[in-house]
Chains A and B, each alone.
Chain A
Amino acid sequence: MTALAAASHPRRPAGFAVRLSNPALLLLPAALFLGFIYLLPVVDLFRISVSGPTWSTFFERVFSVPLYWDALVRTMQISLTVATLCLLLGYPTALLIRRTSGIARILVTAGVLLPYFIAILIRTYAWMVLLGRNGPVNKLLTGLGLLGEPAQFLFNRGTVLLGMTAVLLPIMVLSIYSSVSRLDVALPRAAQASGAGPIATFWRILLPLTLPGMGAGFLLVFVAALGFFITPTLLGGPGDQMFAMHIVQQADFIGSEGFLQALAVVLLIITLLFVALAGHFLGFSFIWGGGQLAEGQPRPATAHEAVPTPQRRLLAGVADRVGWPALRLLSRLNPAWGRWTVILLGGAVIATLILPILVVMVISFSSASYLTFPPPGLSLRWYEKFFSDPNWMEAFWKSSVIAATSAIISVTLGASAAMGIVRSEIRGKSIIMLLLVSPVIVPPVVLGLSLYSLFLRFDLVGTIWGLASAHAIGGIPLVVIIVSAALQGVDRRLEQAAALHGAPPLTVFRTVTLPAIAPGLAAAAFFAFLHSFDELVLSLFLSSAQLKTLPLMLWADINYQLNPVLAVVSSLEVLLVVIGLALAGPVLARTRAGA
């Protein structure tokens, strides 16, 4: 609001009052907070990793011990496979969302969004239930006589890939959908009217135009997979150790100081390398999935009809002899084929995403004393057990308090930072935005490890404030992304009109800006809450025996015994997410439409 005044007199030497009212100052609290609790520990991590006899001692060990080198290669392979699977399955799903309308679209969208917001831990647990010895898949196969006795589907590379793909698919679908939804609906029609069948339309129009969304989705999934810890730990066998799992295991050995940090630094650097590579081609805004913050410059003109170089001529020849004839041949396919491919593949994906969650919800009402599906009878006994068990209840309340505290920190700091970045004339907005949202790409294992020494030094381990602050590192990016999108949707002219009619800046904010971004703020608060409520990996590092959060209890129980109380907790989480989405749905729809 004051940016207007500041902008109209850029050359006048600013007085103290003017400088104080510069919206860029709003970035300060978040910068200080993140600087202390996020950047400082990461820098410290690097320092410790090079603190050996020579700077490279620990790194040499990382790369010379086959155990770690193999895990690194394996992590790359798994991540690449998962990202590829997500791409192949996510594309038809994104097209399915675009193709449906009305109720069908709401259901399909919910089928993607719901899993997106449910904790990874719970979704992985759902897969364990689904594929377990007494799970529905085994029951079905033995019932049909395809299997003599229940088989062990879990704890191998296949289930790791399946679980990770299922967990990460929503990211891919949403990323592709955001670029698909921006396409003019007339474009595929124009291609059809020009004689292009479904495959030619896909190959020549849809694919090239959605390449950025695909690239962004691929990278987000790949980078997330690199640092994955929960799913491979629960679904994998001894041969499926991923790099992040080694870091957690090493953290239990006191003597591994330095080497431990070197492991984390290797993972972090590899992650950052891929992000940098992607950022180079896609622009870093792919991380927050959106606008260029009014700094975007139009892409330079491309001279397509340039001099016909030999390569160009070769390509043209290939296109003439193979490409176009193939497309024409495939255009003989009935368009119904394209439609059915999308419906069947997309439908299968949605079913795979939703099915485990449904099974878990059914099991939570089971009357059996162990996990089995279908339940022999229905009862509320596990709900009673959950609500009457003081350990679960305490964890539930602790988690709620931590999540609420974390949400307050995230919204306060994140929203003011969003204000500062959107409304100030500060230079380098993209870089500031990148720094603010960068915690989402740092593997949680690395973050947890780096925070641990800081927490020890300031005696924060096992405190509510400590955990809430740690969770806010991931909460702030969410808030910044949502609120800055909401702010960009506010018509500046409304604020200017209010100011013109005599409203002082604070009044303008209260009467015009705040009501306009209030839904965005509410959504941001909810997602920050949910982020903390679901957080496991940081808590593993930073909590104590006295401070058990709900995910920590779940984690302990999943590793110990799979009982239906876990299904109760999962069902309650699903309920929480459904309520949140129902409330935030309209807001999100508007945010996306405005972006």
Chain B
Amino acid sequence: MATELASRAMPAAQVGQPGAARAEGSIGSGIVMREVVKNYGAFRAADRISLDIRPGEFITLLGPSGSGKTTLLNLLAGFQKLDGGEMHVDNAPIDHVPTHRRGFGMVFQSYALFPNMTVTQNVAFPLRMAGVDRESAQRRVGETLEMMRLSEHAAKTPSQMSGGQQQRVAIARAIVRRPKIVLMDEPLSALDRRLRESIQIEIRALHRTIGSTILFVTHDQGEALTMSDRIAVMDAGRIVQIGTPTDIYRHPQNRFVASFVGESNLIEAEIVQRRGATMALRNRAGYVFEADAGHGIEVGRAAVLVRPERIAIAGSPGPNTMPVTVTSALFLGEVLRIEARTESGETLLIRCMDTAGRSLPDVGERLHVSWGAADCWVLS
């Protein structure tokens, strides 16, 4: 079984031309996790996690540190043993397959390039371990380096390269075998913002080219939203929500997801009345507003999520507006970031585009804000 897995992970010389569209037939593996448990002493790092990953999917594990995302990745890579549950790749259990025969590619947070080898030797290493002969290995390394725009650095050692270049070498080493699964453990966290953004785009394009299933771990919600097909948000050893980026951002299941992904205003309100597709709510200051009826909450208290960019500033008081007092106003370039206090003492965060005719409000200024029913998302 083990050798079968390895050979499956090694499609015979299936190398797409650099920049070509997705290579035919080199679709990634599906991964199934069932009730996965991992304990570190008394600490439960993975608490009965179940996750289905579709072949060729780009899935991100997102969560704060200690939420269990790296643990899950290490379990899948085989660096650690499961304490319970099972993991399957393409319907075959992998518990007893040692890491080096799982045939995955992996990118590490610290890059983990072999300092005693040149770039070429680093990237050739997985091929040579897989039994590819020197000439073929040379050719495929050349193609991969070309694809990662590293050809001119082929003879350098890792210590002679910048962080961004090293990271691209690490990615090249992970994908050179065209593995069906690539694991990425916070690969961009050591890079500065601009570099991070450009490599994000690169990885995304690479995913389309090679078609592998990519499991990406990050604590950066922006990164997760930008890159993923789906995001699994983790907290305290569990997956608290899984969905597409828009789904996660617009329709978080609970307060943790709402506040961890993106900036958010959570407004405490009481459900006044429900009519069909919308409901009316009243916040503590007594203002009544409408919201799309969420998932079956009928009466009682609720938290309403309003994203800062969904709050509109009205020039004058109207039927559906709420008066607020500005406590801070910052000009961030393309957007204005305003913090304001409602009459009941809650703080609202507002982001609006820097459009012609809009000026930065003064601290202490009174504004009138409003939002539509479709801009709210009612949490339990």
- Assess the B114–A189 pair: CB atoms within 8 A: no
Please indicate the chain B residues that have their CB under 8 angstroms from the CB of A328 in the complex. Answer: 129, 131
- Assess the B129–A187 pair: CB atoms within 8 A: no
CB distance from A350 to the nearest CB of B (A): 24
- Given contacts A187-B114, A189-B77, A305-B118, is CB(A195)–CB(B129) below 8 Å? yes
Closest to A323 in B: B128
- Given contacts A186-B112, A193-B77, A208-B116, is CB(A301)–CB(B157) below 8 Å? yes
Per-residue contact bits, chain A 455-489, to B (CB 8 Å; 1 contact, 0 not): 00000000000000000000000000000000000
Q: Which chain B residues (53-85) contact chain A, with CB distance < 8 Å?
A: 77-79
- Determine if B260 is an interface residue (Cβ-Cβ < 8 Å): no
Most buried by A among B105, B112, B121, B177: B112
Q: Which chain A residues (187-201) contact chain B, with CB distance < 8 Å?
A: 187, 189-197, 200-201
- Determine if B104 is an interface residue (Cβ-Cβ < 8 Å): yes
Which of these binds chain A: B95-103, B200-208, B284-292, B350-358? B95-103
Give the distance in Å from the alpha carbon of A298 to the alpha carbon of B157 in the complex: 12
Instruction: State the interface size on chain A (CB cutoff 8 A).
Output: 33
Please indicate the chain B residues that have their CB under 8 angstroms from the CB of A209 in the complex. Answer: 114-116
Most buried by A among B100, B115, B173: B100
Give the distance in Å from the alpha carbon of A193 to the alpha carbon of B79 in the complex: 9
Residue of A208, A301, A324 touching B156 (CB-CB under 8 A)? A301
Give the distance in Å from the alpha carbon of A328 to the alpha carbon of B132 in the complex: 11
- Assess the B116–A186 pair: CB atoms within 8 A: no
- Given contacts A195-B126, A303-B155, is CB(A190)–CB(B98) below 8 Å? no
- Assess the A194–B129 pair: CB atoms within 8 A: yes
- Assess the B129–A196 pair: CB atoms within 8 A: yes
- Assess the B110–A189 pair: CB atoms within 8 A: no
- Assess the A304–B129 pair: CB atoms within 8 A: no
Tell me what chain A mostly uses at the interface: helix, strand, loop, or mixed.
Answer: helix
Residue of B100, B120, B125, B159 touching A305 (CB-CB under 8 A)? B120
- Determine if A204 is an interface residue (Cβ-Cβ < 8 Å): yes
- Determine if B316 is an interface residue (Cβ-Cβ < 8 Å): no
Please indicate the chain B residues that have their CB under 8 angstroms from the CB of A184 in the complex. Answer: 110, 112
- Determine if A302 is an interface residue (Cβ-Cβ < 8 Å): yes
Interface residues on B, range: 35 or more
- Assess the A320–B134 pair: CB atoms within 8 A: yes
Per-residue contact bits, chain A 327-360, to B (CB 8 Å; 1 contact, 0 not): 1100100110000000000000000000000000
- Determine if B312 is an interface residue (Cβ-Cβ < 8 Å): no
Closest to A316 in B: B134
- Determine if A205 is an interface residue (Cβ-Cβ < 8 Å): yes
- Given contacts A193-B77, A208-B116, is CB(A186)–CB(B110) below 8 Å? yes
Residue of B99, B118, B121 touching A192 (CB-CB under 8 A)? B99
CB distance from A593 to the nearest CB of B (A): 17
Closest to A305 in B: B155
- Given contacts A197-B98, A327-B129, A335-B100, is CB(A187)–CB(B112) below 8 Å? yes
- Determine if B367 is an interface residue (Cβ-Cβ < 8 Å): no
Closest to B125 in A: A194
Per-residue contact bits, chain B 226-260, to A (CB 8 Å; 1 contact, 0 not): 00000000000000000000000000000000000
Please indicate the chain A residues that have their CB under 8 angstroms from the CB of B173 in the complex. Answer: 190, 194
- Assess the A195–B103 pair: CB atoms within 8 A: yes
Please indicate the chain A residues that have their CB under 8 angstroms from the CB of B154 in the complex. Answer: 305
Closest to A301 in B: B160
Please indicate the chain A residues that have their CB under 8 angstroms from the CB of B130 in the complex. Answer: 195
- Assess the B100–A192 pair: CB atoms within 8 A: yes
- Assess the B101–A195 pair: CB atoms within 8 A: yes
Closest to B41 in A: A102
Please indicate the chain A residues that have their CB under 8 angstroms from the CB of B157 in the complex. Answer: 301-302, 304
- Determine if B4 is an interface residue (Cβ-Cβ < 8 Å): no
Per-residue contact bits, chain A 175-188, to B (CB 8 Å; 1 contact, 0 not): 00000000010110
- Given contacts A195-B130, A305-B154, A335-B99, is CB(A190)–CB(B108) below 8 Å? yes
Please indicate the chain B residues that have their CB under 8 angstroms from the CB of A197 in the complex. Answer: 98, 100
Closest to A208 in B: B116
Please indicate the chain A residues that have their CB under 8 angstroms from the CB of B79 in the complex. Answer: 189, 192
- Assess the A304–B118 pair: CB atoms within 8 A: yes
Closest to A331 in B: B100
Give the distance in Å from the alpha carbon of A197 to the alpha carbon of B102 in the complex: 11
Per-residue contact bits, chain B 117-146, to A (CB 8 Å; 1 contact, 0 not): 010110001101111011000000000000
- Assess the B109–A186 pair: CB atoms within 8 A: yes
- Determine if B106 is an interface residue (Cβ-Cβ < 8 Å): yes
Give the distance in Å from the alpha carbon of A195 to the alpha carbon of B130 in the complex: 7
Listed in ascending order, the chain A residues whose CB lies under 8 Å from chain B are 184, 186-187, 189-197, 200-201, 204-205, 208-209, 298, 301-305, 316, 320, 324-325, 327-328, 331, 334-335
The 5 A-B residue pairs with the shortest CB-CB distance, nearest first, are A186-B112, A195-B129, A190-B112, A193-B106, A194-B126
Between-chain CB contacts (< 8 Å), 21 pairs: A186-B111, A187-B114, A190-B108, A190-B112, A190-B113, A191-B125, A193-B183, A195-B101, A195-B103, A195-B130, A195-B177, A204-B125, A209-B114, A209-B115, A301-B160, A304-B121, A304-B155, A320-B134, A324-B128, A324-B129, A328-B129
- Taking A194-B173, A196-B125 as known contacts, 20 extra A-B pairs with beta carbons closer than 8 A to each other, sorted by chain A number, are A186-B108, A186-B110, A186-B111, A189-B77, A190-B113, A190-B114, A192-B99, A193-B100, A194-B126, A194-B129, A195-B177, A209-B116, A302-B157, A305-B118, A324-B129, A327-B129, A328-B131, A331-B100, A334-B98, A335-B100
